[in-house]
Amino acid sequence: MDGHTRPLSVDEALRCVLEQTAAAPAEALPLASALGLTLAEDVVSDVDSPPYDKAMMDGYAVRGADLLDGRGDLEVVQEITAGRVPTLPVGPGQAARIMTGAPLPDGADAVVMVERTRLLEDGRVRVEGSPTRAGQHILKRGAELRAGETVLTAGVRLRPQDVGLLAAVGRDPVAAVPPPHVSLLATGDELVEPGVRPAAGQIRNSNGPMLLAQTRRGGGVPRYLGIAADHEDSLRPLIEQGLRTPVLLLSGGVSAGKLDLVPGVLAGLGVRTHFHKVHMKPGKPLFFGSVRTAGGTTLVFGLPGNPVSSFVCFELFVRPALRRLRGLADAGPPVRRAALAEDFGHASDRPTYHPALLEEADGWKVRPVPWFGSPDLRGLGRANALAVLPPGDGGFRAGQVLSVIPLEEG
């Protein structure tokens, strides 16, 4: 154990988590699965784009010198569609029918849109309208990018448009940081799966599906291990499975009760405890440890069993760890400053992460929602943020500026 005998502050605990967390090694990954991943290399274009002067309109490739007053009858010498290469140059008094995206033939320096033209019976085309200028409706070769130009740099989180750009420069596969695999184990004799009607003394396992969803939203690849009963013979083999992935989340069994066996089982499996308790509400019993395995380091989070405690601890500590594992520079969590929309009475000896509504109305405003504590998942469901309420016996006045953690941001 690292020697923390007192509960750590939230900042201390987050710092400890991130100190134990490093980005996963980059892999060559298929471009089709690269969305949201962190690029691990600078990418240089191998081509000019476009690779030729190309038409931006359906119409006719012409010489601007033939249409100085915007009018003229021109001989049509060929038709060029996208994907075809011109076979003839355009000479004086000539034009080529051309489609959007097709290469411009030699001799032509402008494109006249088809709406300005009329085909004559003798096969010529009549152009009418405003004067034609050189370069009109043409995208020049290399206007978007040049061969040898760096188009994306390492550390970028890949968006759909970035994936398209990688495809355009032929980067498939691409070197990127793979998403972290996360095992999830719920614990407790009282738990049944959501599809089961609880008997006397039982409750449904809401934490499991919730944490799986948070893991997906956080960019992880979840693996559900099921529910472990409150005895070592059930816990140990399932925890051993979970330690084979870079992150193991355990829900429940980490407090100080008679059946809170998780810390002891983890210690028996070689997990080093970094801290066990954080000075916060909800979520004080949070456990964090790590262990070296054949596959690298596994981070272990023992989340409290009450659902809002589990949710808040994930957002404050697990999600930043996932971001760091994914190679993102800003681990978070994201914090905004917002004015309290109305007076709010509150007393606590610990900083409280209170479910709240964050909205933009002449600046950011925050309004705590009705909530009766860590079991109240329905209250959390009314919120889109966590308002950070400092400890104290007094309340808070409307207009007071608070730190707020949005819950909808990636």
> What sign results for the dihedral spanned by CA atoms 163, 168, 174, 175?
negative
pLDDT greater at residue 409 or residue 28: 28
Mean pLDDT of 78-86: 94
Token duo for residue 157: 């989180």
Say which residue, 329 or 394, is predicted with more confidence.
329
| Percentage above 70 pLDDT, the chain | 97
Q: Which CATH number fits domain 10-24+178-325: 3.40.50.720, 3.40.50.880, 3.40.980.10, 1.20.120.80?
A: 3.40.980.10
pLDDT digits (tens, 9 = 90+) for 308-325: 999 999 999 999 999 999
**pTM (global) more than 0.95:** no
What is the CATH number assigned to the segment(s) 27-49+144-177? 3.90.105.10
For 336-406, CATH gives: 2.40.340.10
* Domain 54-139 is found in CATH 2.170.190.11: yes
Selected residue with higher pLDDT from 312 and 258: 312
* Tens-digit pLDDT profile for residues 178-195: 999 999 999 999 999 999
